[in-house]
Amino acid sequence: MDTRAFLNHVATLPPYRGQIVHVEQVPSREARYAELKEPLHEVLQSRLESLSLFPLYSHQAQAINAARSGKNIFVVTPAASGKTLCYNVPILDRMLREKRSCALYIFPTKALAQDQLRGLEELAAPLGIWCATFDGDTPPQERGEIKRSAQIVLTNPDMLNLGILPNHQSWSRFLRRLKYVVVDEAHIYCGVFGSHVANVLRRLRRLCALYGSNPQFISSSATIANPGEHIEKLVGLPFEVIDDDGSPYGGKDFVFWNPPTIDRARSARRSANSEATFLFTELIMGGLRTITFARSRKLTELIYIYARDQLAKEEPALTSRIKPYRAGYLPEDRRQIERQLFAGELLGATATTALELGIDIGDLDATVLTGYPGSITSTWQQAGRSGRRGERSLSFLISLDNPLDQYFMRYPQAFFGKSFENALINPENPYILKPHLLCAAWEHPLDDEDGELFGQSFTQARAELEAQGLLRERQVRWYPSPGISYPAEEVNIRTTSSERYTVVDASQGYRELETVEAAVAFFQVHPGAIYLHQGEAYLVTELDLGARTASVVPIDADYYTQTKDITDVRILKQNQVKQAGAVKVYLGEVEVTTRVLGFKKKRQFTEEVIGEEPLDLPSQTFPTVALWFDIPQETAGRLAVKDLDFAGGLHAVEHAAIALLPLFALCHRNDIGGLSTPLHADTGRAQIFIYDAYPGGIGIAHKGFELVTELWRATLSVISECPCEDGCPSCIQSPKCGNNNEPLDKGAAKLILDDLLG
């Protein structure tokens, strides 16, 4: 496409007010090819040639050569680089030579597994190799035959945890013959989810050993900063990393688009959603096939509605050629939209991250990202959905009014010149490890040798389960105690807690809608909360703490709710200390206590507060890992001389630093919490804490501790260069603040950071 012509066109339209702050011209590149060391089975060679899959790109040949030599390999290359062949070719080649061999493919979502099945069947079916998905959508009448006969089974970690491993006896044929395990999109397995999946994979390896197999692992991923460290921690085995991409690339114009300021004093900006609607409709009217990504299901629907209405005024014939796409739709509806996109029947779609992963939807000209997705990795994944067939493409990143988005708008090279984030997991977090040890004991009794699989925390975690009465020892083997029944049902691998609240629709006979993790229930389903389920708004009428049930009724609300809370952090143990800048920085174990005090009602889009109500809920306490740092002793005096608010400055530094920490770790702002105080009870001095918002910690605070000086510098840049007068959402205000963003002092924050950096 002619990207320059479209950008020139946009700049002539009335809504344009200088929103383009940077255009990165990512160059095109030619393909590099390579040969295999050994010829493939002639039947597979012929099939690949008939599908025009030769010659192989250099990274594909390198990966296939390494896999055929028996190594565990990790292919880390961008979207549309042909990673799928890196595992399909060596696996199919071996299956043609060893007819009884099997392989397990693990994808993070059911949708991706279904999509990959279509491509795999095209390649494998003519070879006489039967492939099948096994997940929650698999009809019961087909499951027995899959267990008995399938050579390649495609599944997801949830089904592996819940349906396959606990029933391993019925999978004995498959596990005994298992030669390969594919872990696709491995960058998705970070944080709590990745920590759970690491333990699920260890349980799989343990059962394979029980049945006499030792499968080889082949994994693929988008680009991350620590590929070798991450995959070896995830699987628990050594890997060879292959990251030199040899695929061709058509090039891209990547546009950073900052909504115009409508109130300079408060640095308030025009809605990113209206900017996305404007760009999406212009691209569609220009005949450019486009996906617009939104951060929530509701915004996906709203941008679609706005765009449809705009097209109805200007190009009515195009209204039927766009659709929304998100989780929550029936599987057959999502498949239909995917097919329509692939076939070119649709010109565009608004979507959640459900379309971020590698589902093949054909040629796209452009992508629009409504807000920074939270990581450089995800940003390139979403932007990479356009230009997948070698043509030059266009991507827009529309910034939101928050410190991290605005940091990139002012420093685009902090995005384009920065390495990707570290993917962080902590498989030995006791809140994650212990439930999986109980599952492992249910699958086959534990013994001391399992410590080699599950790590240094194994013995202590096993002892704690025994002390809790969940395990019992018999002849140096540990079994689930009597009464323990199917523990995998109690493990939600996407959270740290098995405790949940059930959300029921009181208007329809208390029909169950979904469940909410207990740790966030008081924030999401408190009485009076507006709760969104599949894009529909519900009012929480009652929260029954005893029954762990939230009753809701449908409501047509033009507002949302935001809780107010108070947090206390107590230091349990100091593990590390170092000198950074002018002060000492600490890493250790803490106990966080939070109490939700009330909530505000805020108008959608305008953010106007239209009401405030108190709540009477018990406090919640959990242990986690935090970093904290001192403030130079002379700082308070310097602030007093300038008549600046010490507490407000600390609070502002805390907010901005938390917002920017995702620059350095593959995490979301909601994965982190913080506390600032001029006088902390445990230290007797001013302190700022930043902690993992999950029991036991998942490694975010540890990464912040390592890079704290870089974090301070980025925080100072954001606060100093924001054009607002007294602080705004682009620098020091936080939408998650339980204290209603009070007190905050922008000037004090700048002085504190100057002093921290010495």
CATH of residue 446's domain is 1.10.10
Half-sphere exposure of 441 (CA within 13 A, CB side): 30
How far is residue 708's CA from residue 664's CA, in Å, rounded to a whole number? 10
Q: Looking at the structure, do residues 108 and 66 belong to the same domain, yes or no?
A: yes
Which pLDDT score, from 0 to 100, does residue 54 have?
Answer: 95
Dihedral sign for Cα 361, 366, 371, 372, please: positive
For the four alpha carbons of 430, 433, 434 and 435, in that order, the dihedral sign comes to: positive
Distance between CA atoms of 332 and 168, rounded to whole angstroms? 30
Q: What is the pLDDT of residue 342?
A: 85
What's the whole-number mean pLDDT along residues 441-450?
98
Do 436 and 534 fall within a single domain?
A: no
pTM score, two decimals? 0.85
Three-state DSSP state, 189: coil
| Same domain (yes/no): 630, 575 | yes
**Mean predicted confidence (pLDDT) in 418-443:** 91
Higher pLDDT, 420 or 372: 372
Secondary structure element (H or E) that encloses residue 371, with its range: none
pLDDT at 266: 60
Per-residue pLDDT at 264: 65
pLDDT of the residue at 533: 73
For residue 389, pLDDT beyond 80: no
**Residue 507 carries which side chain, given as an amino acid letter?**
S
Rounded mean pLDDT, 448-461: 97
The residue among 497, 494, 493, 501 whose CA lies nearest residue 521 is 501
Q: Does 512 lie in the same domain as 471?
A: no
Confidence at residue 231, expressed as pLDDT on a 0 to 100 scale:
98
- The mean per-residue pLDDT over the stretch 504-527 comes to 89
247 domain-assigned: no
Are 505 and 553 in contact by the 8 Å Cβ rule? The answer is: yes
SS3 letters across 192-240: HHHHHHHHHHHHHHHHHHHCCCCCEEEEEECCCCCHHHHHHHHHCCCCE
Contact 673, 657 (CB under 8 A): no
- Residue 421 maps to a domain: no
Considering only CA atoms, which of 585, 591, 617 is closest in space to residue 695?
Answer: 591
Cis before 743 (ω within 30): yes
CATH number of the structural domain spanning residue 145: 3.40.50.300
In the numeric block, which tokens belong to residue 650?
């600390």
Nearest to 391 by CA among 249, 286, 246: 249
Same-domain status, 387 and 465:
no
Instruction: For residues 367-373, give the mean pLDDT.
Output: 95
Residue 612 within a domain: no
Q: Count of domains in the chain?
A: 5
Q: Is the model's pLDDT at 534 over the cut of 70?
A: no
CA neighbours closer than 13 Å in the CB half-sphere of residue 58: 11
Residue appearing with tokens 């995959």 = 231
Residue 610 maps to a domain? no
Looking up tokens 């609607």 gives 277
Confidence of residue 420 (pLDDT cuts 50, 70, 90): confident
Cα end-to-end distance, the chain, whole Å: 50
Could you tell me if residue 90 is inside a domain?
Answer: yes
Residue 647 lies in a domain: yes
User: Reduced to 3 DSSP states, what percent helix, strand and coil does the chain have, rounded to the nearest 5?
Assistant: 40, 25, 35
Q: What is the pLDDT of residues 547-570, one digit of tens each?
A: 999 999 999 988 889 899 999 999
177 and 212 share a domain? Answer: yes
Confidence bin at 498 (pLDDT 50/70/90): low
Task: Specify if 105 maps to a domain.
Answer: yes
The mean pLDDT of the chain is 92
> Rounded distance, CA 758 to CA 743, Å?
25
- Looking at residue 52, its pLDDT comes to 95
Tokens, residue 5: 């012509």
Rounded to an integer, the average pLDDT of 485-513 is 88
Number of CB atoms found within 10 A of residue 121's CB: 15
The first and second tokens of residue 227, run together, are: 């590929």
Whether residue 46 is predicted with pLDDT greater than 80 in this model: the reply is yes
Residue scoring higher pLDDT (187 or 262): 187
* C-alpha distances in Å from residue 448, one per residue of 239, 444, 452, 454, 578: 26, 13, 8, 10, 37
Instruction: Report DSSP state, residue 576.
Output: E
Q: How confident is the model at residue 519 (pLDDT cuts 50, 70, 90)?
A: confident
- The one-letter code for the residue type at 325 is Y
- Tell which residue, 108, 155, 110, 150, has the closest CA to residue 131: 150
In a domain, 601, yes or no: no
Amino acid at 180: Y
Can you read off the two tokens belonging to residue 23? 């255009």
Whole-number Å distance between alpha carbons of 75 and 246: 12
pLDDT tens figures, 58-73: 999 999 999 999 999 9
**509 and 485 in a common domain:** no
Please choose, from the candidates 715, 626, 724, the residue with its C-alpha nearest in 3D space to the C-alpha of residue 662. Answer: 715
pLDDT number for residue 201: 98
3 state SS of 653: helix
Q: Which residue type is seen at 147?
A: K
Question: Quick one: 451 and 342 in the same domain?
Answer: no
> Residue 499: pLDDT above 90?
no
| DSSP bridge pairs for 348 | 290, 322
Per-residue pLDDT, 704 = 95
Q: What is the pLDDT of residues 465-478, one digit of tens each?
A: 999 999 999 999 99
Q: What are phi and psi of 349, to 5 degrees?
A: -150, 150
Is the pLDDT score of 360 beyond 60? yes
For residue 739, what are the contacts with CB-CB under 8 A and spacing of at least 6? 564, 566, 651
Query: Where would I find the H helices in 256-373?
Result: 272-285, 297-314, 331-343
What digits encode the pLDDT tens for the residues 604-646? 766 788 999 999 999 999 999 999 999 999 999 999 999 999 9
Q: How far is CA 61 from the centre of its chain?
A: 30
**Residue 670: per-residue pLDDT:** 80
Choose the final residue of a domain: 190, 211, 242. 242
> Is 328 found in the same domain as 209?
no
Radius of gyration of the chain (CA): 27
Phi first, then psi: what are they for 581, rounded to 5°?
60, -125
Paired with 600 in beta bridges are 562, 612
Name the token pair of 414: 């902090």
The candidate with the shortest Cα–Cα distance to 298, out of 535, 85, 97, is 535
Same domain, 174 and 82: yes
Q: What is the DSSP string of 52-110?
A: T--SPBHHHHHHHHHHHTT--EEEE--TTS-HHHHHHHHHHHHHHHSTT-EEEEE-SSH
Instruction: Judge if 519 and 573 occupy the same domain.
Output: no
pLDDT at 359: 66
Distance CA 382, CA 386 (A): 8
pLDDT the model gives residue 66: 98
Amino acid 492: pLDDT = 86
Task: Kindly give the interhelix angle for 708-721 and 746-756, rounded to the nearest 10 degrees.
Answer: 150
Statement: residue 594 has pLDDT above 90: yes
Residues in the chain: 758
pLDDT digits 0-9 by tens, 167-192: 999 999 999 999 999 999 999 999 88
Mean pLDDT of 109-116: 85
Helix, strand, or coil (residue 365):
coil
Virtual torsion, Cα 35, 37, 42, 48, nearest 10 deg: -30
Q: Is the pLDDT of residue 535 over 60?
A: no
Query: Domain boundary residue among 509, 529, 557?
Result: 557
Determine phi and psi for 703, rounding to 5 degrees: -65, -40
pLDDT digits (tens, 9 = 90+) for 685-739: 999 999 999 889 999 999 999 999 999 999 999 999 998 888 988 899 987 787 8
**One domain for residues 162 and 66:** yes
571, 689 contact by CB (below 8 A) = no
The domain boundary residue, chosen from 438, 459, 490? 490
CB-based contact 233:187 (threshold 8 Å): no
**What CA–CA distance (Å, rounded) separates 49 from 247?**
18
Report strand pairing: 102-106 vs 178-183.
Answer: parallel
User: Which has the minimum average pLDDT: 120-134, 519-533, 572-586?
Assistant: 519-533
516 is in which domain, residue-wise? 500-557
